[in-house]
Amino acid sequence: MNLEELYSYAKKFGFVFPSAEIYGGFSGFYDFGPLGVELKRNIESLLWKRFVTQKNFVVGIDGSIITHPEVWNASGHTKNFSDPVLKCEKCGARFKADSFIEDLNNGPVEDITEFVNSHDLKCPNCGGSLKFTGRANLMFETVVGTKDKSYLRPETAQLIFINFKQVLNSFKINVPFGIAQLGKSFRNEISPRDFLFRLREFNQFEIEFFVDPEEANNCPYFDGIKDKSIQILTREAQKEGGKAKTVKLKDLQDRATKWHLYWLWEFYSFFVELGIKPENLRLREHLEDELAHYAKACFDIEYKFPFGWKEIHGCAYRSDFDLKQHQSFSKTKMEVFEQAKNKRYIPHVIEPSQGIERAFLAFMFEAIEDDRLKLSKELSPIKVAILPVFNREPFLEIADKLFKEITNKGYSSMIDVRGPFVKRYDYHNKIGTYLTLTLDYQSLEDGSFVIRLRDKDEFIRTKDINQIFEMLS
């Protein structure tokens, strides 16, 4: 299934709609439908559970979307948060230069300007010549009150940095620790494209993990994962036109700290455990010119989409740049003091950054198989569909009782009486429903129902509702 086909599929079955479609749509913005919002919330809740609730060394915040404009001056966003632009001399269309060239070149290039000057780039819309016209800032401006200018946040990270001391002092947590945030971000993209892949409004889950710079290799969990294998496209392979290779995490210690590798493995495992095949995932090490001046290392987790290998997760070692910037601009000290070591320092930061919509897109592509959406039970928008053979009492009474018992356990469910019975099975295959329960005449006699497991086409008649919960646990 290609991107256009997935877009049609998602729209048809109520996963994702173009925003304001009755007005012709609005580029870079999408609305999640009844099934899409369930899948999206499942992804978000699974991220929060795994990386916050189940980590004793990570806490969460929920920062504001609009904040003091000086935050963005300190972070460098107002001055430097921009993308290179290619413009068609014939039709005026504009394109994000690095992405356009990366697609053309099957990978990033070290010098965009040199590449543009040495190649006759053509507009995909009209065939006109494309020229490099500089950079465009990606910040969405807004007015607060009647005259004060601020911005919609382009990332969630800076809200974590400006609350760092508040969390440290109020929660009494010790370094190393992480602060996580989940929420909306906004970027005025030059050319939003590829459905949910590049948006102007999107959702992020980010962790800023604070560590003593002298202890970045002191990760107590690394020994448990050091022999795990992972596919990586190294910096050298990219320069030489080589391929990704499979290595053990311990073999990457010359490229990243142990804590950095720990977080990369955690998110890589997150995708694999929820159904993405390892052969469709790889790490890509950033080239030197891709790194921010303050970054010691950065890796993307890429997924093999039908339109190529693309980033679905980024993990950077940001050093102490952000905290130092906010210390300088706000005149608030960002140091921590470790009494046991009699030591003051500004922590370094490792930042796992996860786009929700990109994860959504990867999971959808991975799950579509044989005209079925084989999402894992954790991701399935509807965990249990209840299918009475007839839309009348007393079938509906039994269905309602089952529905209440299932939803009271926290599982999503629906009673489906729409259309012919056989077509309902097919519908639930297509939307990824994990289990269906059939209520027939025998159900009226003895209270039993038939459980059907989506991926196996197995049918089990039972009276015991706990069998459902065992299958879902």
Q: Read out DSSP for 219-235?
A: -TTGGGTTT-EEEEE-H
The pLDDT value given to residue 444: 96
Asked, as a colleague might, if the bond just before 18 is cis with ω within 30 of 0, I would say no
Q: Which of 276, 313, 319 is nearest to 297 (CA)?
A: 319
Distance of alpha carbon 420 from alpha carbon 436, whole angstroms: 15
Q: Per the confidence metrics, is the pTM higher than 0.75?
A: yes
pLDDT for position 381? 98
Alpha-carbon radius of gyration of the chain: 25
* 33-58 burial: b if 16+ Cβ within 10 Å, else e: bebbebbbebbbebbbebbbeebeeb
pLDDT tens across the length of the chain (473 residues): 999 999 999 999 999 999 999 999 999 999 999 999 999 999 999 999 999 999 999 999 999 999 999 999 999 999 988 889 999 999 999 999 988 998 888 777 878 888 888 999 999 999 999 999 888 899 999 999 988 999 999 999 999 999 999 999 999 899 999 999 999 999 999 989 899 999 999 999 999 999 999 999 999 999 999 999 999 999 999 999 999 999 999 999 999 999 999 999 999 999 999 999 999 999 999 999 888 878 899 999 999 999 999 999 999 999 999 999 999 999 999 999 999 889 999 999 999 999 999 999 999 999 999 889 999 999 999 999 999 999 999 999 999 999 999 999 999 999 999 988 889 999 999 999 999 999 999 999 999 999 999 888 789 999 999 999 999 99
Query: Sign of torsion, CA 121 122 125 128?
Result: positive
Query: What one-character DSSP code corresponds to residue 391?
Result: S
- Burial of 309-345, coded b for 16+ CB within 10 Å and e otherwise, reads bbebbbbbbbbbbbbebbbeeeeeebebeeeeeeeeb
Class of 7-81+138-368 in CATH: alpha beta
Region 384-472: CATH code: 3.40.50.800
Domain ranges of the chain: 7-81+138-368, 384-472
- pLDDT of res. 270: 98
Q: If we measure between CA atoms, which residue out of 319, 315, 321 comes closest to residue 285?
A: 315
CA nearest neighbour of 206 among 224, 170, 180: 180
Pairing of strands 58-61, 177-186: parallel
- Size of the chain in residues: 473
d(CA 204, CA 315): 13
DSSP per residue over 353-384, as a string?
Answer: EEEHHHHHHHHHHHHEETTEE---TTT-S-SE
Q: What is the pLDDT of residue 428?
A: 96
C-alpha 42: how far from chain center: 12
Full DSSP string of 315-339: EEEEETHHHHHHHHHH-----EEET
Q: What is the DSSP letter of 49?
A: I
Query: What pLDDT does 106 receive?
Result: 77
Q: Is 423 exposed, middle or buried (0-12, 13-18, 19+ CB in 10 A)?
A: exposed
Q: Which of 205, 200, 117 is nearest to 160 (CA)?
A: 205
Here the tokens at position 107 are 């990978």
